[in-house]
Amino acid sequence: DIQMTQSPPSLSASLGDKVTITCQASQNINKYIAWYQQKPGKAPGLLIHYTSTLVSGIPSRFSGSGSGRDYSFSISNVESEDIASYYCLQYDNSPTFGSGTKLEIK
Amino acid sequence: QVQLKESGPGLVQPSQTLSLTCTVSGFSLTSYSVHWVRQHSGKSLEWMGRMWSDGDTSYNSAFTSRLSISRDTSKSQVFLKMNSLQTEDTGTYYCAREASGGLPGDWGQGVMVTVSS
């Protein structure tokens, strides 16, 4: 099974900052990576798929990039509504999630 | 609109079998696949398996021996059955419709399951 190493486990940012989360796969996943946002007590919501394709309705301050084994997810101009946990998911093979990153506001 | 809702017992005894139902609306199970994903409290997400639109199934190898996913298209329901439950199976179980590319897209609200005597 493909392992996804996600970092950092937590992040503290000021409003308006840019933050970046990374995921490294244990093998090439051919850009089949997605990013989810989960707020407390809620189900995850899909933000980005196929590395960088934004889901309809998701603000453009969310972005993704990468290739091969290494991928990143960024939020520019962090807003208070972005307080959540974020997870990567590889779906090149039997799907596996990263361990998550909890975003807090300073 | 697309909706998914999980249902099942909130409490299951160790060594017993968990049975969950995902009732969907707004789409056909013969056109979209449905995933099952679970989450231990405060922890990461774990993909469990998938009911494909053609009726085929795929499973996470970590669960293969004790997990079964089935469906009733006439009732728009997908079922999860997992046996030999242990306390480590405590968590929130979600079903999700596939999005473009096949990954989990639209999710249900989840159902919390506690394994305890």
* Average pLDDT rounded to a whole number, residues A82-99: 97
Residue B48: CB atoms within 10 Å: 22
A36-A41-A47 Cα angle (round to 5)? 15
Q: What is the mean pLDDT of residues A73-92?
A: 97
Confidence at A23, pLDDT banded by 50, 70, 90: very high
**Selection from B116, B9, B115, B112 nearest residue A41 by Cα:** B112
Both tokens of residue A5? 């190493």
Considering only CA atoms, give the Rg of chain B.
13
Residue type, B5: K
* Residue B42: pLDDT over 80: no
Contacts of B46 in chain A (CB under 8 A): 97
Mean residue pLDDT of chain B comes to: 95
Whether the pLDDT of residue B109 is over 80: the answer is yes
CB < 8 Å to B60, chain A: 1, 94
pLDDT in tens, B83-103: 999 999 999 999 999 998 899
- The fraction of chain B above a pLDDT of 70, given in percent, is 100
Task: With CB atoms and an 8 Å threshold, state whether B103 touches A95.
Answer: yes
